[in-house]
Amino acid sequence: MYGILPNGKQQFIDSNGNPLASGKVYYYIPNTTTFKNTYQDDAGVNLNTNPIQLDANGQCIAYGTGSYRQQVFDVNNNLIWDQQVDAPLSEVFETNLASSSGSSLVGYTEGGTGAITRTVQSRLRDFVTVLDFGADNTGANDSASAINNAITSLSNGGIIYMPPGVYKTLSTINIPDHVTLLGAGKDATIIKPVGTFDCITVHGATFSSWGDARQVHQLTIDGSNGCTGNGLSIINCGLRCYFADIYIINMKGTANSATGCGMYISSSFDHNYDRIETRANASYGIYVYEKQSVPDGVYEEVSNLIFHSCWAISNNAAGTQWNFAGGDTCCILECKPSQGSIGLEFTRNCFSHKITNLFYDSPGSAGTGIACQTDTNYCDNLYFNGIHSYNAQYGLNVVDGQNIYCQNFDGATTSVNVSSGATGYLYLGQNVSYTDARSTPKTYPTDYFGSWTPQFAGSGSSLGNGTLSAQYTLNGNALTFQINFTFGSTSVMGSGAGFSVPYPTSTSYTPVTGLGFHSATSTWYSFQAYIVSGYIIFPYGNLFLGPSTPFTWATGDMLVVSGTYRVFE
């Protein structure tokens, strides 16, 4: 850039406009009488006198830097002016300012109390933009190397920013520990991979050397230009990984496989996923896969994953939208797998997952919102609450599984269907319709407060004309109960006496408490008891319950049994 050149010498004039011949010019630090140097050259080598003696034409040469207090006198020492003046930028300074380190010469102070002064360079390095490394956000050229170079520049982690635009990539973008890849929004930052590879990988070295604190946010992955692979692949990652506001569409691959998924997750734990949307991908919109083999000798679990407001729609040739192949203790909250024959499918070993407020739109009347149909072993201890399946045949179809808790289903023709091959217990809360095709159904309504009539069993035991009552409350899978039995004249206490419980217990030998009241002496006795195979068993012997232990049972005597146990895991 060019500008108007100033005069080679400074010209000073008097109040009448005449040259200030033989006048004097003093230079001070502003607002002081402390001299400040000026020079005869722009390199600052030849020092001027202070004051500078003007020549016969009222001229001099004075180079300086920064601000000065300037006092000008005529030949008779009369003050002409006393003003502050500022030196223009020198060519050397302009060159330095335009260099790669030029931003380090400019200060920056944020507004607000307590703000400190930094250089502009320091401020701009709070995060790195991929454009600084040559990424092309017009979509014309490959940006993968530039993006990976930007990521590699963060030796101690940080934020990599992808400004609005379209980024063509011909190879994988890799996210290491403590790095966040941040776009400008799902509609603003669009990555278009071309080739055979996973677009973004978040991979630890092994499960025992898992990745930490890796994040991806605010962007779209669009495989419509021809990318065979997964949009986002997460393997061997552990704590503090977070993925949010990502749209993944049109990845190519094979249906019902680990290639062509919107998002693929394996051998990972303790993650959060918010507002992930997958559409029109060749395979599953979301595929969570727990390995059965352990090549590094460590059990490579999938656990403690939390999905919130995630959508999987019209993926996998309208088949299963979201496949959960294994894992334990994961939460799926307010998610929407839709427009496929199955919305959410649990296969392999799935334990202790919780699904709340799931929305499924079936593409036809034969669709299933959720399916538990394992290829090996079974699903166990799954919790479903608020399953909304519209235009569907089943809200939940249980082909194999046990200890499954369901409540608040709507929209489907049948809320819950249990196939003949299912082996375990099904617990139904409010607002659930069901069919159970097993010859011996194991389906239990789960009133939060209820009563039942226990069976009184044991060798020689008989209820007779005694009175028996029992109540329970159910909170989740914890059932608390109390049984009250008052002896009648024909009641008999045999050996090995016990009462049946309302629901099967999930564990063997669950301890409970028994109290016996001997009406003749008004004395209470305590007993230790256990729930075994659905019955409360009182151990028989010294100081335990028996026909004459700890007293001979008669009319008016009472037996009270209470405790808490788990009805499913």
Give residue 310's pLDDT: 98
Query: What's the rounded Cα separation, in Å, for the pair 480 and 474?
Result: 6
Give residue 91's pLDDT: 62
Lowest mean pLDDT across 78-87, 384-393, 454-463: 454-463
Residue 284 identity:
Y
Give residue 290's pLDDT: 87
In a domain, 108, yes or no: no
Q: Are residues 233 and 330 in the same domain?
A: yes
Q: Are residues 453 and 414 in the same domain?
A: no
* Span 79-94, average pLDDT: 80
Average pLDDT, the chain: 88
pLDDT tens digit string along 524-559?
Answer: 988 888 887 778 887 654 446 778 888 899 999 999
Q: Are residues 394 and 525 in the same domain?
A: no
Give residue 437's pLDDT: 82
pLDDT at 488 over 50: yes
Q: Are residues 247 and 275 in the same domain?
A: yes
Give residue 542's pLDDT: 45
More confident residue, 331 or 443: 331
pLDDT tens digit string along 106-118?
Answer: 877 888 888 888 8
Dihedral angle computed from the Cα positions of residues 32, 34, 39 and 44, in that order, rounded to the nearest 10 degrees? -100
The last residue of a domain, from among 384, 419, 445: 445
Q: Are residues 367 and 475 in the same domain?
A: no
pLDDT at 168 over 70: yes
* Span 171-186, average pLDDT: 96
In a domain, 101, yes or no: no
Give residue 15's pLDDT: 81
Check which CATH number belongs to the domain holding 65 and give it: 2.170.14.10
Does pTM surpass 0.75? no
More confident residue, 461 or 92: 461
The last residue of a domain, from among 38, 67, 87: 87
In a domain, 109, yes or no: no
3-state helix, strand and coil shares in percent for the chain, rounded to the nearest 5: 5, 50, 45
Reported confidence tier of residue 448, pLDDT bands at 50, 70, 90? low
Q: Are residues 69 and 195 in the same domain?
A: no
pLDDT at 196 over 60: yes
In a domain, 122, yes or no: no
Q: Are residues 372 and 284 in the same domain?
A: yes
Q: Are residues 474 and 523 in the same domain?
A: yes
Lowest mean pLDDT across 77-81, 195-199, 506-510: 506-510
Under DSSP, the state recorded for 548 is: T
Query: What's the rounded Cα separation, in Å, for the pair 527 and 517?
Result: 11
Give residue 566's pLDDT: 81
**pLDDT > 90 in the chain, percent:** 56
pLDDT tens digit string along 344-378?
Answer: 999 877 888 999 999 999 998 899 999 987 655 56
Residue 364 identity:
G
pLDDT tens digit string along 269-311?
Answer: 898 999 999 999 999 999 999 886 555 555 578 889 999 999 9
Q: Are residues 437 and 539 in the same domain?
A: no
Q: Are residues 334 and 201 in the same domain?
A: yes
Give residue 8's pLDDT: 82
In a domain, 149, yes or no: no
Give residue 442's pLDDT: 65
Query: What's the rounded Cα separation, in Å, for the pair 110 and 384?
Result: 50
- Can you tell me whether residue 318 is helix, strand or coil? helix
As a three-state string, the secondary structure of 55-109 is CCCCEECCECCCEEEEEEECCCCCEEEEEEEECCCCHHHHHHHHCCCHHHHCEEE
Q: Are residues 13 and 59 in the same domain?
A: yes
Give residue 21's pLDDT: 93
- What domain range includes position 356? 160-293+321-445
Output the six-digit token pair for 400.
């194999």
Between the alpha carbon of residue 461 and those of residues 72, 386, 491, 538, the distances in Å are: 123, 45, 8, 12
The last residue of a domain, from among 422, 445, 468: 445
Alpha helices in 125-209 (DSSP H): 144-152
Number of domains in the chain: 3
Give residue 534's pLDDT: 76
Dihedral over Cα of 402, 403, 409, 413: its sign = positive
Q: Contact at 8 Å (CB) between 191 and 215? A: no
Q: Torsions phi, psi of 472, nearest 5? A: -145, 160
* Span 1-10, average pLDDT: 71
pLDDT tens digit string along 6-57?
Answer: 788 999 998 888 999 999 999 999 999 999 999 998 888 999 999 999 999 9
Lowest mean pLDDT across 187-201, 362-376, 431-445, 542-556: 431-445
* Span 399-405, average pLDDT: 81
HSE-CB at 68 with a 13 A cutoff on CA atoms is 20
Reported confidence tier of residue 93, pLDDT bands at 50, 70, 90? low
In a domain, 168, yes or no: yes
pLDDT at 1 over 90: no
In a domain, 470, yes or no: yes
Reported confidence tier of residue 436, pLDDT bands at 50, 70, 90? confident
Q: Are residues 332 and 263 in the same domain?
A: yes
**In sequence order, what are the residues at sequence separation of 6 or more whose Cβ sits closer than 8 angstroms to the Cβ of residue 142?**
136, 168, 169, 170, 171
- Can you tell me whether residue 155 is helix, strand or coil? coil
- Can you tell me whether residue 490 is helix, strand or coil? coil
In a domain, 376, yes or no: yes
Query: Taking Cα atoms as reference points, which of 261, 148, 137 lies closest to residue 191?
Result: 137
